[in-house]
Amino acid sequence: MSGTILIVDGLATNRIVLKVKLSAAYFSVEQASTAADAVAAILRDKPQAVLMSGDLPDRDACELIRGIHALPGCDRLPVLVLSADRTPQVRIDLLRAGADDVMSKPCCDKTLLARLRSMARHAPVEADLDLTHDTAEALGFAEAQAGFAARGLIAALHSGAARDQALCRRLAQATSHRFETLRTGRTDLLTGLQVPPDVLLTFLPPGAGEPELVHLAELCSAPQTRQSRVLALIDPEDDALAAKVLDLGVHDIAAHDADPGEITLRLEKLLHAKQADDTQKARLRTGLHAAVTDPLTGLYNRRYALSQMARLIDSARSSGQTFAVMVADLDHFKAVNDTYGHAAGDQVLTRVAHALRDALRPGDSLSRIGGEEFLVLMPQSGIADARAMAKHLCQTVRDTAITLPGVQTPVTLTISIGAMVADPARQGATFEPEAMVAEADHALYAAKSGGRDMVTISHLSAA
């Protein structure tokens, strides 16, 4: 995200006036005079937000908004419309087309700048990570979000004024999401909700001052609502208040006398944005989990094994305790693939992997570090522990009869194991993960040459 704001307006004077205001507030600015130029500028400059006139020379504003969000990687690019038309339906159409806000011309500079600051502050979760295109694509970040969301929770927080209550009843009817109404002034207010609300609707009374603003700031950081999107309904005449509320971290504001249809739309847009962010976070978690896991067997991968060894080395250095490293390799595994096919081979690997994992002690770990090669790490273990466990693992594999689809007789395999014990007191030994794996690997070769289905302990480790 470049931090640039793209101004789209057919009139040069409008663009110049806006550019001066935005530059004075430290924004960098690009300009476009037509919808066609705007699309080119977005692809070229990758702006952080688009600030466009509702009245363009070459294209309908709603169409342009939809066009912008269909550009690659732009489905969540914030668009702010300055519209001369105050008709509720025009505003609703623009919001429905995907505008993040519609401000009436002439608009208050303070509120406009606060709105742009708010957009920068609430950039999507992945924007700041600067993932490469390939990585983002493979993880699904580049995919457009589904238009319709799961049922969410909207919580409205009001002081009991009859007008607010009436509005809440209308909003509750208009939305397909769960809508809970809460009274302010009770400290246990939010704990009554079973789950944190996706969206919080708050009412700021006319003449709202310090106490109301502090209350809003509290809601934005309270454990129950810290992740919620907040829409504040405010007095439309109080421009300074609008700016302050946005700078406090509120996600959206609307006039308290706005069309209920507009308020509903804003609530649902906030809810969808919240769910989209939750999805992106889940993708991040899944991606990061995948970075340390073998997809076939669900075991840890080589990357994880090496990082765990680095931690074992650190703790061995400070405690003086040894740990064991074993490399286990299935015997004649290629024959399984050649005889029964790859799919059967994958099944065999998975069964053996789980049998090995179940045979280990709590605290030991198992990773798949090659095709049919596994790494066992045993913290706080010596040669006797390693030998006993290795023999136990050989026996476990020998005892695991694997039934394959379409194959009469269950398949049984054997495994060969090479082990070494990492001892910080050992003279002359390299205390590095790769060197330890190589030493265990060397012992494994001895086990393979010795006839397979057996265990070899590295002789170095007995010195």
| 312 touches a copy of itself (CB under 8 A) | no
Residue 242: its H or E element: helix 239-247
Q: Which of residues 219-258 bind a copy of itself (CB under 8 A)?
A: 219-226, 240, 243, 247-249
| 195 touches a copy of itself (CB under 8 A) | no
375 beta partners: 327, 367
Q: Which of residues 439-458 bind a copy of itself (CB under 8 A)?
A: 441, 445
| 358 touches a copy of itself (CB under 8 A) | no
283 neighbors 129 (Cβ within 8 angstroms): no
In the list 28, 31, 145, 380, the residue contacting a copy of itself (rule: CB under 8 A) is: 28
In the list 86, 311, 391, 459, the residue contacting a copy of itself (rule: CB under 8 A) is: 311
Nearer to a copy of itself, 160 or 223 (CB): 223
Nearer to a copy of itself, 307 or 414 (CB): 307
In the list 112, 114, 330, 394, the residue contacting a copy of itself (rule: CB under 8 A) is: 114
| 16 touches a copy of itself (CB under 8 A) | no
365 beta partners: 377
| 370 touches a copy of itself (CB under 8 A) | yes
Give me the phi and psi of 60, to 5 degrees please: -65, 140
Give me the phi and psi of 181, to 5 degrees please: -110, 130
| 396 touches a copy of itself (CB under 8 A) | no
The residue count for the chain: 463
| 374 touches a copy of itself (CB under 8 A) | no
Task: Tell me the two tokens of residue 72.
Answer: 């690659």
| 362 touches a copy of itself (CB under 8 A) | no
Cα separation, 125 vs 280, in Å, equals 7
Q: Which range, of 25-33, 161-169, 400-408, 452-460, touches a copy of itself by CB under 8 A?
A: 25-33
Site size for a copy of itself, by CB under 8 A? 74
400 neighbors 357 (Cβ within 8 angstroms): no
CB of 299 to a copy of itself, least distance (A): 12
| 209 touches a copy of itself (CB under 8 A) | no
What is the β-pairing status of strands 373-378 and 323-330? antiparallel
Cα separation, 7 vs 301, in Å, equals 49
CB of 92 to a copy of itself, least distance (A): 28
Strands of the sheet containing 101-104, edge to edge, are 28-32, 4-8, 49-53, 79-83, 101-104
301 neighbors 415 (Cβ within 8 angstroms): no
Q: Which of residues 48-67 bind a copy of itself (CB under 8 A)?
A: 48
| 318 touches a copy of itself (CB under 8 A) | no
In the list 23, 89, 403, 430, the residue contacting a copy of itself (rule: CB under 8 A) is: 23
Residue 240: its H or E element: helix 239-247
Torsion of CA 399, 400, 406, 408, to 10 degrees: 10
| 24 touches a copy of itself (CB under 8 A) | yes
Task: Single out the residue of 290, 278, 303, 305 nearest to residue 377, CA to CA.
Answer: 305
Q: Which range, of 69-77, 129-137, 197-205, 421-429, touches a copy of itself by CB under 8 A?
A: 129-137
Task: Single out the residue of 114, 95, 154, 93 nearest to residue 238, CA to CA.
Answer: 114
CB of 167 to a copy of itself, least distance (A): 24
CB of 110 to a copy of itself, least distance (A): 7
Task: Tell me the two tokens of residue 396.
Answer: 């476990």
Which positions from 143 to 182 touch a copy of itself by CB under 8 A, shown as an x/- string? ----------------------------------------
Nearer to a copy of itself, 222 or 355 (CB): 222
In the list 190, 232, 254, 270, the residue contacting a copy of itself (rule: CB under 8 A) is: 190
| 317 touches a copy of itself (CB under 8 A) | no
What is the β-pairing status of strands 365-368 and 373-378? antiparallel
CB of 181 to a copy of itself, least distance (A): 18
In the list 113, 201, 253, 375, the residue contacting a copy of itself (rule: CB under 8 A) is: 113
In the list 17, 36, 107, 131, the residue contacting a copy of itself (rule: CB under 8 A) is: 131
Cα separation, 57 vs 84, in Å, equals 14
83 neighbors 112 (Cβ within 8 angstroms): no
Nearer to a copy of itself, 220 or 460 (CB): 220
In the list 13, 148, 237, 289, the residue contacting a copy of itself (rule: CB under 8 A) is: 289
Task: Single out the residue of 147, 133, 112, 164 nearest to residue 7, CA to CA.
Answer: 112
In the list 137, 239, 259, 432, the residue contacting a copy of itself (rule: CB under 8 A) is: 137
| 21 touches a copy of itself (CB under 8 A) | no
252 beta partners: 231
Task: Tell me the two tokens of residue 429.
Answer: 């030994």
| 111 touches a copy of itself (CB under 8 A) | no
What is the β-pairing status of strands 178-183 and 199-203? unpaired
In the list 57, 140, 320, 363, the residue contacting a copy of itself (rule: CB under 8 A) is: 140
Task: Single out the residue of 215, 277, 200 nearest to residue 245, CA to CA.
Answer: 215
- Is the C-alpha dihedral spanning 39, 43, 44, 49 positive or negative? positive
Nearer to a copy of itself, 380 or 396 (CB): 380
